[in-house]
Every structure is written in C-alpha cells, then in structure tokens.
Amino acid sequence: MTRKMTFGALGVKAVMLIIAAALLFAPFLFQDVRSIEVAARICIFIVLVASYDLLIGYTGIVSFAHTMFFGFGAYGAAIALKEMGPGWNAVLLGGVLGMLVSLVIAAAIGLVSLRVKAIFFAMITLAAASVVLVLASQLSQFTGGEDGITYKVPDLFKPATKLLVDDAGKVVKLFGVSLNGKIAAYYFVFLSTLVLFLLLLRITVSPLGTVLEAIRENDVRAEAIGYRVVAYRTFVFCLSAAVASLVGTVYAVWLKYTGPETALSFDIMIDILLMVVIGGMGTMWGAVVGAVLLVLAQYYLRDLMGAAAEVVSSVPLLPELLNPDRWLFWLGLIFILLVYFFPKGIVGTLMTKGARG
Amino acid sequence: MSLLKIENMKTDIGQYAVLHGVSFDVPEGGVFVLLGRNGAGKTTTLRSIMGLWTPSPGSVTFRGEDITGLHTAGIARKGIAYVPENMGIFGGLTVEENLILATETGSFDQARLKRIYELFPAIETFWTKQAWSLSGGQKQMLAVARAIIEPRALILIDEPTKGLAPSIVAAMAEAFREIAETTTILLVEQNFHFAKSLGRDMAVIEDGRVVHTGTMADFVADKALQERLLSLSA
C-alpha cells in the first residue's frame, strides 16, 4: 500500500535519523551521568508513548491505565530481583509474570468494557489504575509501599564491571568513555526499546494497522465490512499493555529502584498524554518527537532559563520572568503554543506539509 | 427459495418504534428496489438486516439460515455487503486501502479488480489518493467497488444517487446493471427514474410497514398506485 511521501514526511524522517543517531551514540556524545539518564528515559518513553499511541492514535481508545501496565512490568522485575537475587532468570521471570498479569487484566477490562461507550471505558481504566496505585502503596510487604523496592541488577550492569580490558587489566576506553557496566545497561535499554519500537512500527504498517485506522475512523463501517470491532480493540489493548509492561521491566532494570512515583504515578500518565499530543496522534514518529521534546524540557528547561535570565539580567522584569523556578509556567506556555500551531501534533502537521491531496 | 426473507421485523430506535412488522422476500438475482417516502423506514430496514439495529421480534433469513441476532461482522461474512447512504468509505485511507480492507485474504483477485477498473475508471486513476480527496461521485463508486471486491451474494445499497450529478447517476446505473448479472442487489432509492430502470422486483414501505410488493414492471404501469403510495411525479 503506497502513500506519496510529502516534503514534510521527508523532513520528519531526517529528524528521526538524527534522533536515532544521537541515542545510539549518546554515551559517547554526552559524557555525563545526567545525559545518559536523559537518553535512557527518552528511549523508555518513546516505546511507552508509541504503545499508547497504538491505542489512542491508531484505534481511538482512550485509556488511563497505561502506567498501570508499565507498573506491572516494573514491579514484576523489581520483586523478582529482590526475592531471587540479581540474575537474568529473575529479570526474565519478573518481566514475563508482569506481562502476563497485564495481559489478563487488559483482556478482562477490554472484553467487559470495550463494548460500552468510550467515556465509560476511560472511566473504568482510570478506576483500575487508581486501585492498583493504592494497592502498591498498601501491600508494602510485596511492593515496599511508598518507599518502593531497591534491588541489585545482573552483574553485567554494575558500573564496576569491565566489558573490555587491556593488557594491563584496565577497562578499555572508547572515545574517552570507559566500556563498563553502565554502558552495557544503557545499550540494554537502547536495544530493548529499539526492538519494541520496531515491532510497534511493523504493526502499524501491516494490514492490521489499516484495520485499526478504519476502526478509529468509523467503527460501525468497519463492523459492516466484516471486522469484529470489540475483538480488534481488545487485542490492541492487550498488545499495548504487554509492550508497556515489557518496557516497564526494562526501566526497572535501568533504575535499580521501583516505587509508585517511578512506575505507577498519574504524573507519568499525564506525561504520556502530553507527549502523544505534542508529537501527533496516529503516527509512531510522533511518539519519538513528543518523548524527546518533553523529556529534554523536563531536564534542561530550568538550566536554559537560568542561562537566559543571566543574559538578560540588565533588562528589567525579564530576569524575573525567566527565573528557573517558573519553568513549569513556560513549559505550559510552550505546550499551548505547540497545540495552537501544530493542531495535529508536530509530526502529524509536518507529515501533511507539501501534500497535494 | 428466496435469497433473503424478512418476516415481521420490528425495530425500535431508542423510545421510537420505527418498523412495525416489515415482511418481504428478496428473490435471487437482479435488483430488488425498496421504495417509500422520507422517514418510512427504508434505511432502518437495511440497517436492521445488517444487525446495526436489532429487530425484536421478527426474523431475517439469508440463504435459508436465520441470521437474526448475529453481530454485524458475522452477517457481513455470510456474504452480505452494505453500502450506506453516506457512502461509508474511510476518508483517511487510500483508495487501495479502502478496497483491501474488504478482501478476505488481504490481496486482490486481479480479475475482479480489472472488472472494477472497467466499471469505475476513477478507482484506478485515484488508486493512491486518500479517499477524503475524492469527489462525491468517486466516493460512491469506491463504496460500491468495495462491496464487490469479493464475491457477495447480496449487496444492500442505500440511496446511491443522492446528491450526484446526472452523468454520474447514468454511469452508476450502468454499473449496477452489470453487477446485478452476478449479484443480487437490494436497493433503497428515492430517485424513481433510476429505480425503475434497474428494478425487477420491488416493495413499498409506509410508516414502518410494507404496503405493496410486486414486480417493477407492474408498478410502473400502474400510475394510480404510484400516486397513492409514493405521490410520485414520474
């Protein structure tokens, strides 16, 4: 199935290549702990947002339970690593169990409530996510409660691990970067999320992706040409939940800590929604742009404003406006402007640039 | 044996009773036309056959099998295609994607595709265009093409000429004549000129009930009946 490539689409593809290259070489390009943290978080959120976009953007399902599935994956790995010790079998078992729990709950919610109106489904997912958040806080013997769980990860990811050593037994450096366990952990995150993202991308360009777009556009029409809409929606809900759960496991391994704030919080859900809207719904590339922009803003907007405030320190009022403590105000303003100038999200709007109908 | 048999179909939409016991038989082959004034219940009849509204009580029998209560997708898979009044295309998808959605295997039968190109040349011309960019007539052609991209036993078509230019209507009539050689068409139509040029059998619905059934030839010959049932100005 072919759609003509627009100039905007070419531009988007070019930006994607730049982002992919930046993430691939991040440990070598940005040699500080914070930058690697940001790069890993971007990788995680790209998949989390893309899996959510499969729901909201491609199928038209509004769910507030996405962080719940992310949390199942994270807590699965965290509990297994805590109980079984820092081995790969714990990561695997925890990840698989987390995913199975996600699949069972997604299937149950989907089959029961995807028949009803979208608003009811959204409310049910919100209720389920709230219950799980409360349970995670209260079942402290399993989840560590509000404090969460701290655990060790496989030896390969320990900072002291030497991936390559020279003749003197010292860790090999590449472009000035020590090839140690931290690098291994980053590439574990990068490669895992790359595989999951490519899987999601493959789904959206497959015949299934076309059916999902048809369902989003008009579910009655899709049903009338022979597609069981409830079955497709439930399948996609489960698929999206499974991917969110797997990326939750990856995040748990990266952070070495899992708690309500990092895995189940509604702040994460809001971030996902913002990223989808900023990037553009119904396009996997939108997840990439949305995740990159919002994570960068969350980490660097304060610094940027601090620097800007210094530059304009002689101008009245401006330094006060650019006070780093006001970063959330500016983030909100930027978000409003983005929505105003890119109503279909940045990628959604750019993709149509240069189109001739 | 009739291809489609509708017996005592009653359909409520919300608190309103729209069909009060519709019964008629659609024989196999040719075009069966359902006539009636605005609001008589023609579209509701088609939607009830497709399971988009649930008739209760009453029954819909297709090829001898009771399909009442089946879900819409199941009815479609039995071999009934539906072309709704608003064309029912997917504007965000390309012409090709719209058609491939209606195939069972995800690939085209080249002979059928060639036939569709012959019937509707615009389909081939705008193959890679997104459907929203087509004209009204082209959208209608796409909707009909989607209904015949796979072999179907019955196609339900709701007011296909509404809002179309006369030249497109003529092309559409020609296409329907060809399609009816191999597939039964149940056509709801307000344009009586169009309907009588195609119909072999017909029924008239009034206030949610069938008030007349017979052949189109007999109905066309009886001006008084036309005037009484439809207030037609032929």
Whether residues B82 and A207 touch (CB distance < 8 A) is answered with no
What are the strands of the beta sheet with B16-26, ordered from one edge?
B16-26, B4-13, B59-62, B65-66
Instruction: Count CA atoms within 13 Å of residue A113 on its CB side.
Output: 20
Residue A112's pLDDT band, with cuts at 50, 70 and 90, is confident
Half-sphere exposure of A49 (CA within 13 A, CB side): 33
Q: Are residues B96 and A1, on separate chains, in Cβ contact within 8 Å?
A: yes
- Verify whether the Cβ–Cβ distance A223 to B72 is below 8 Å: yes
C-beta atoms of A218 and B71 within 8 A = no
Q: Which of A206, A213, A223, A234 to mutate to test the interface with B (most CBs of B within 10 A)?
A: A223
- Judge whether residue A115 has pLDDT over 80: no
pLDDT of the residue at B202: 94
Per-residue confidence band for A357, with pLDDT thresholds at 50, 70 and 90: very low
| Residue that is last in its domain, among B151, B167, B190 | B151
Nearest-CA distance A348 → chain B (Å): 13
Are residues B136 and B219 both part of a single domain?
no
Q: Which residues contact A356 (CB under 8 A, 6 or more apart)?
A: none
Among B135, B151, B167, identify where a domain stops: B151
Question: Are B45 and B23 members of one domain?
Answer: yes
Contact A225 B146 (CB under 8 A): yes
> In total, how many domains does chain B have?
2
A40-59 mean pLDDT: 95
A211 CB neighbours in chain B (<8 A) are 101
Asked if B130 and B141 sit in the same domain, the reply is yes
Whether residue B117 sits in one domain with residue B42:
no
Query: What average pLDDT score do residues A27-34 get?
Result: 88
pLDDT of residue B55: 74
Q: How far is B76 from chain A (nearest CA, A)?
A: 5
Contact residues on chain A for B102, CB-CB shorter than 8 A: 225-226
* Structure tokens belonging to residue B144: 């009909």
User: For an interface test with B, which of A225, A233, A344 has the most B Cβ atoms less than 10 Å from its Cβ?
Assistant: A225
Q: Is the pLDDT of residue A356 over 70?
A: no
User: Given an 8 Å threshold on Cβ–Cβ distance, is A214 in contact with B133?
Assistant: no
Three-state DSSP at A296 gives helix
Cα separation of B26 and B184, whole Å? 9
Residue B216 and residue B120 in one domain:
no
User: Do B96 and B127 meet the contact criterion of CB atoms below 8 Å apart?
Assistant: yes
Q: What are phi and psi of A54, to 5 degrees?
A: -60, -35
Spell out which residues of chain A touch residue B95, defining contact as CB-CB under 8 Å.
none
Residue A293: pLDDT band by 50, 70, 90 thresholds? very high
Q: Under an 8 A CB cutoff, do A229 and B52 touch?
A: no
* pLDDT score for A355: 59
- B97, B120, B151: which is the final residue of a domain? B151
Given this model, what pLDDT does residue A238 score? 96
Contact residues for B197 (Cβ-Cβ < 8 A; gap 6+): B173
Residues B23 and B115 in one domain: no
| B102 CA: distance to closest CA in chain A (Å) | 6
In tens digits, what is the pLDDT along chain B, a chain of 234 residues? 689 999 998 888 887 888 888 999 999 989 999 998 888 899 999 999 999 887 778 889 999 999 988 999 999 999 999 998 877 789 989 999 999 999 988 889 898 899 899 888 889 999 999 999 998 888 988 999 998 898 899 999 999 888 788 888 888 888 899 899 889 999 998 888 889 899 999 999 998 999 999 999 999 998 888 888 877 544
Contact A221 B71 (CB under 8 A): no
Q: Which chain A residues contact residue B100 at CB under 8 A? A: 1, 207, 210
- pLDDT number for residue A309: 87
A4: which DSSP letter?
P
- pLDDT, residue B137, reads 87
Q: Are residues B12 and B62 in the same domain?
A: yes
Q: State how far the alpha carbon of A299 is from the alpha carbons of A221, A286, A305, A319, in Å.
A: 45, 20, 12, 20
CA pair distance A71, A264, nearest whole angstrom: 5
Query: Mutation test of the interface with chain A: which of B46, B87, B90, choosing the one with the most A Cβ atoms within 10 A?
Result: B90
Quick one: B190 and B179 in the same domain?
A: yes
A/B interface, count of CB pairs below 8 Å:
70
Kindly state the percentage of chain A with pLDDT values over 90. 66
On chain B, the residues whose CB falls within 8 A of the CB of A224 are 50, 52, 72-73, 76, 82, 84, 88
Pairing mode, if any, of strands B31-36 and B184-188? parallel
**For residue A353, which amino acid is it?**
K
Question: Residue A152: what pLDDT?
Answer: 94
A164-176: average pLDDT? 83
Chain A partners of B106 at a C-beta cutoff of 8 Å?
207
Tell me the CATH number at B196.
Answer: 3.40.50.300
Q: Are residues B206 and B133 in the same domain?
A: no
Distance CA A227, CA A221 (A): 9
Average pLDDT over residues A245-253: 98
Residue of A nearest to B126 (CA): A357
Same domain, B73 and B158: yes
Nearest Cα of chain B lies from the Cα of A207 at a distance, in angstroms, of 7
Q: What is the mean pLDDT of residues A78-89?
A: 95
Give A80's pLDDT tier (boundaries 50, 70, 90). very high
**pLDDT for res A234:** 93
> Which band of pLDDT confidence, cut at 50, 70 and 90, is reported for residue A354?
low
Q: What is the residue range of B55's domain?
A: 1-79+153-234
ipTM comes to 0.82
pLDDT of residue B234: 44
Average pLDDT (A189-195) is: 97
Going by pLDDT thresholds of 50, 70 and 90, the confidence category of residue A287 is very high
Amino acid at B127: W
Q: DSSP labels for chain B?
A: --SEEEEEEEEEETTEEEEEEEEEEE-SSSEEEEEE-TTSSHHHHHHHHTTSS--SS-EEEETTEE-TT--HHHHHHTTEEEE-TT----TTSBHHHHHHHT-SSSS--HHHHHHHHHH-HHHHHTTTSBGGGS-HHHHHHHHHHHHHSS--SEEEEE-TTTT--HHHHHHHHHHHHHHTTTSEEEEE-S-HHHHHHH-SEEEEEETTEEEEEEEHHHHHH-HHHHHHHH----
- pLDDT of amino acid A4: 59
B130, B168: one domain: no
Q: From residue A10, how far is each of A14, B40, B93 by CA, in Å? A: 6, 52, 20
Residues B157 and B119 in one domain: no
Is the CB of residue A229 less than 8 Å away from at least one CB of chain B?
yes
